[in-house]
Amino acid sequence: YPDEIVLDGKSYKTDEWTNIPDFILELTKRQLHQNPNHPIGILRDLIERNMKDMGYTFYNNFKPAVTTFQNFDVLGFPDDHPGRSKSDTYYLNKDNLLRTHTSAHELECFQTCETPGYLITADVYRKDEIDRTHYPAFHQLEGARTWSKNTPNLEEQILKDIESIPKTNIIVEDPFREQPINAENPKQDYMTEKQVQLIQVHLKKSVEFLVNQVFETARESARLAGSTEPYLNEPLKIRWVEAYFPWTSPSWEIEVWWKGEWLECCGCGIVQQQVLLNAGLGEDKLGWAFGIGIDRIAMLLFGIPDIRLFWSLDERFSNQFQQGKIATFVPYSKFPGIKRDVSFWLPTDSLLHENDVMEIVRTHAGDVAESVANIDEFVHPKTGRKSQCYRINYQSMDRNLTNEEINEVHNKVEADLKKYFDVEIR
Ligand code: PHE
């Protein structure tokens, strides 16, 4: 790495934590959620329009570099949380990273927001597996809402606020399975049982409304496009499951039944008082927060088969989408892929993590890395040495690849595996 990395006009001195390839730094400039004619921007716009006049401020301009304090510490992440590790997170240096979630901006929003609630949309970054639905950059939409404890008749006010959320015809599966508020996920002392109950209902109704509107738009578009599938006329089915986040308690996750599968959609919960205190709000506030990943939902709504397409610069992609419309993506010609295997012996006590292999492939292949899979693993019965084999499919969305260029990329992948993890290529 160079001595410094400049990002959004700020300079970061690199150190032993720095682990951001140029490929990822380039992605931070794209800001797809701000493009009103891109599926991610169209979905953001749709959600904002549905939530208009409901007391939320919309934030769409937060830059992706944040401090470890904003992303983790202030939210109560324990020191040994795996999210903090270099194999999960892109660090500019020890104290600065690419946000791994929009919750990194909760503090500043709680501090500055002048309406009862806010919505943040932003690009977020995580090292992750490589497949059709995972990409190291994706987007989240975060929401939060607070009340002042000094509101006269606070409980009646929350009830009124609940009533003002438009009704949906969502079916809540198994509502009595409702998570008990338990030791793992306790009620916090700063609220009464009644307040927890009311805020929980407000949170769940708000999330159900948001999700229902999005999926209703998807059904509407499918009907307009002539689809007659029966699910288009059935009410949306959801369920609430228990979840755990360091900065909310109790916490839940909503799952949506869509085309025969439960989709994990959105984590949420009642904000830990410590976060509100950290934001300087004193003991006066209570509230909830949620965070939705929007790429997966956009893939469903727009019929996009591969998450990498969102980042395509090909006009055959971008010309298909327009502000305010949910059109179904029409695939364009695919180019053949080139498969290469890499097998190696690991040194004893190797620290090689699957994500490290993914990252090395990403670094050299960029978007041409279509998939990487660990296809074989065994321990030699005599020597006790461990062997692994990864199958890499190099495939471009936009062009034919040559064997020569892929050999070159693949050699670099092997060289890095040797250099950084001391493996013996077989
Ligand atoms: N930030 C969480 C995630 O990335 C989602 C979340 C947001 C959960 C706000 C609770 C409150 O999964």
Residue 421 has a pLDDT of 96
Q: Both tokens of residue 136?
A: 């190291």
State how far the Cα of 258 lies from the Cα of 359, in Å rounded to an integer. 32
Probe ligand 1: pick from 75, 142, 270, max atoms within 8 Å of CB? 142
Give nearest CA residue, ligand 1 atom 4: 101
HSE value, Cβ hemisphere, 13 Å, CA-based, for 67: 8
Residue 177 has a pLDDT of 62
Residue written as token pair 């009103």: 36
Give the per-residue SS3 of 270-297: EECHHHHHHCCCHHHEEEEEEEEECHHH
Angle, CA 422 vertex, CA 418 and CA 426 arms, to 5°: 60
pLDDT bracket for residue 11 (50, 70, 90): very high
Could you tell me where the beta strands, DSSP code E, fall in 126-247?
A: 137-148, 171-172, 237-245
Give me the mean pLDDT over the 108-125 stretch: 97
How close is the Cα of 142 to the center of ligand 1, in Å?
7
Probe ligand 1: pick from 102, 103, 210, max atoms within 8 Å of CB? 103
Annotate 297-337 with DSSP letters as a single string. HHHHHHT-S-GGGGG---HHHHTT--TT--PPP--------
Probe ligand 1: pick from 245, 251, 265, 276, max atoms within 8 Å of CB? 245
Closest C-alpha among 420, 423, 368 to residue 390:
423
Percent of the chain's residues with pLDDT above 70: 98
| pLDDT tops 90 at residue 226 | no
Q: Is the CB of 41 under 6 A from ligand 1?
A: no
| pLDDT tops 70 at residue 234 | yes
Residue 336 has a pLDDT of 87
Give nearest CA residue, ligand 1 atom 2: 291
State how far the Cα of 91 lies from the Cα of 89, in Å rounded to an integer. 6
Q: Is the CB of 291 under 6 A from ligand 1?
A: yes
Q: Is the CB of 365 under 6 A from ligand 1?
A: no
| pLDDT tops 70 at residue 61 | yes
- What are the pLDDT digits (tens) for 287-323? 999 999 999 999 988 999 999 999 999 888 999 999 9
- What are the pLDDT digits (tens) for 152-186? 999 999 999 999 999 999 999 877 665 556 778 89
Amino acid at position 396, single letter: S
How close is the Cα of 193 to the center of ligand 1, in Å?
23
Residue 334 has a pLDDT of 76
How close is the Cα of 114 to the center of ligand 1, in Å?
22
| pLDDT tops 80 at residue 333 | no
State how far the Cα of 152 lies from the Cα of 352, in Å rounded to an integer. 58
pLDDT bracket for residue 331 (50, 70, 90): confident
For 421, other C-beta atoms within 10 Å of its C-beta total 17
Residues with Cβ < 8 Å from 233, sequence gap 6 or more? none
pLDDT top residue among 364 and 217? 364
Go through the domains of the chain in sequence order and give each one's CATH number: 4-318 (3.30.930.10), 338-425 (3.30.70.380)
Q: Both tokens of residue 289?
A: 């927060």
Residue 259 has a pLDDT of 81
| pLDDT tops 70 at residue 206 | yes
Percent of the chain's residues with pLDDT above 90: 82
- State pTM to two decimals: 0.86
